[in-house]
A and B are shown apart, each in its own frame.
Chain A
């Protein structure tokens, strides 16, 4: 079991020695039990860091923000940034490294193993608390323990864990500079892709009805894209800024510019948005589940990304984020790759 004090000591030490310029981790927020991203730059702040079942955010997004900011102000990074990373988060970092988004020496990975559990799905917790609000959440072996005004509520972690954690194959951050917690590989509580497999047992008509329903519900707030560390493009296909305007650009050019996806949040546009995003995540998505967690209207986005992840695995034996030196899915070709779709 991880002692949060060890994480704090490591962060304090790294900052005190000037080995990193910041530590990206978790701290208690202002909303009850929930942790929030923390950006720590002095050793005295290290005691703010927490590690509990509400540390669900994939913080590697902020490495992307940092890189963009440094590019913007045209500065070299100098000392690396330290980041607290779970298994899935560390695999996201590996994908970013594979894609040369930043260099290995620019990041100091403080790995945390999810050990016997994963992180919480807030939506699953609510019915167990009967309207009460939790002020604290803690790991305890195979359980999560919540503090409410009515006392302590102990729940088996698997009852309230995020779906992706139930299916997680690799809860240990293999790529790290320091790591806390044991490697409990093979502790998966559901088969990999269990939710997707269950979903695909339905006929194509039912699946179409299901997705039509959800594509109609998307409000295009782009939280799924914004929260995703893999969605780092400077220009996204859905944005209206993807059109270079020069002094030669006429009003007619502007009016006739190609827009792949209109702003109307209607089925045709929402499908194009969500499917394009899923395609662009093939071989890159590490199933951190942030898109689905962030979605304010509960569109089951993970199923789309899982589908691509499973294709990559079954067709090409590809595991996103497995190794920095390895090729990326779409930039590699092997003689053994299936080719029977080429006619």
Chain B
């Protein structure tokens, strides 16, 4: 399904989706973030500071509550994500491509009920990038594209005073038919224009990981390279790169005791991060990834070697957040290229 939506009708479209909670990019505190919007939605954002991964994989997921009254059996109460449907507008193609990668992790070997319960109620309404929204975009070099529809339910393309709107999935079709009369049939000129806009978008120069297909073997051969520690020399071991990443998914599970008597608490899953020094710390005090080099290698190799080995595609989608937001200039594009070059 391909339609034309006049820009002045976008708010009416959103109003028509009254059974959905709508999220859109909002500029607040100097950064763009997906937030609930009612009425007007702005789609003039570059990319959001955080990816939309938290909609299906929130930073904090309560699994269940526990309680024990003295002399009685412990009581567990499962906490189930609510059934409210969310449609998120303005998702960039790199973040769209993050969705199937997260789906693989949480469905392939293990059925993660919490992830799936949230995931099935999220619709991703994408916005093609007519030009790269950031200086560190590199989607083209990791198999993506500024006009990719992968992972999206709907793809919108900005044509000036109107959007070219394409349904990618049945869910997407449903979102469009909910406000059918707002949409017009695209003319031959519209079709031609969208093709041109997409061709221009793809032709726009970007930064690049060179020859991504050859990277896994080169990384494998570089496991013991001293270059890792050199490249990670400045790393401060914070969680910015992984927390902002659309595909990083490591987590920790803890029991958080809220009251000792009577014993009450919650079991919680929270995001974790392979760059924290204590991520691999054993209780003996031994740390198998004992320095920043080993930890940087883990992050890079997971994106560009282990994930391709397991699932046949790079995990990185080239959004560039980890590059732009690293406080000390660690740049995954430069790191991969240097390690590969060094491997010969």
Q: Of B82-90, B111-119, B233-241, B302-310, which stretch is located at the interface?
A: B233-241
A298 within 8 A of B: yes
B136 within 8 A of A: yes
Could you say which residues of chain B place their CB within 8 Å of the CB of A293?
327
Chain A residue with minimal CB distance to B234? A37
- Chain A interface mostly helix, strand, loop or mixed? loop
A240 within 8 A of B: yes
Q: A252-266 interface mask toward B, CB cutoff 8 Å, 1 = contact, 0 = none? A: 000110000011111
A29 touches B31 (CB 8 A): no
Could you say which residues of chain B place their CB within 8 Å of the CB of A255?
255
Could you say which residues of chain B place their CB within 8 Å of the CB of A264?
60, 256, 268, 270
A263 touches B252 (CB 8 A): yes
B331 interface neighbour in A29, A262, A294, Cβ under 8 Å: A29
- Residues of chain B in range 164-198 having any CB-CB distance to chain A below 8 Å: none
- Given that A263-B270, A264-B60, A264-B256 are contacting pairs, would A297 and B31 also be in contact in the complex, using a CB cutoff of 8 Å? yes
Chain B residue with minimal CB distance to A57? B328
Q: CA–CA, A243 to B257, complex, Å?
A: 16
Chain A residue with minimal CB distance to B54? A219
Q: Of A78-86, A185-193, A220-228, which stretch is located at the interface?
A: A220-228
Bin chain B's interface residue count: 35 or more
A30 touches B31 (CB 8 A): no
B284 touches A219 (CB 8 A): no
Q: B73-106 interface mask toward A, CB cutoff 8 Å, 1 = contact, 0 = none? A: 0000000000000000000000000000000000
A49 within 8 A of B: no
- With both chains docked as a complex, state the minimum distance between the C-beta of A213 and any C-beta of chain B, in angstroms: 8
Chain A residue with minimal CB distance to B276? A222
Could you say which residues of chain A place their CB within 8 Å of the CB of B30?
123, 298
Chain B residue with minimal CB distance to A217? B29
Q: B211-244 interface mask toward A, CB cutoff 8 Å, 1 = contact, 0 = none? A: 0000000000000000000000110111110011
A133 within 8 A of B: yes
Q: What is the interface size of chain A, counting residues whose CB is below 8 A from a CB of the partner?
A: 42
A266 touches B60 (CB 8 A): yes
A31 touches B329 (CB 8 A): yes
B135 touches A223 (CB 8 A): no
Q: CA–CA, A35 to B331, complex, Å?
A: 12
- Residues of chain A in range 187-233 having any CB-CB distance to chain B below 8 Å: 214, 217, 219-223, 225-227
B11 within 8 A of A: no
- Given that A57-B328, A245-B283, A262-B256 are contacting pairs, would A296 and B244 also be in contact in the complex, using a CB cutoff of 8 Å? yes
Q: CA–CA, A222 to B329, complex, Å?
A: 17
Q: List 14 A-B contacts (CB under 8 A).
A: A30-B331, A31-B135, A32-B135, A35-B329, A62-B234, A219-B59, A219-B239, A221-B238, A223-B240, A227-B328, A240-B278, A262-B268, A263-B268, A296-B240
Show the binding face of B for A, using Cβ within 8 Å: 29-31, 49-50, 59-60, 135-136, 233-234, 236-240, 243-244, 252, 254-257, 268, 270, 273, 276, 278, 281, 283-284, 323-325, 327-329, 331, 333-334
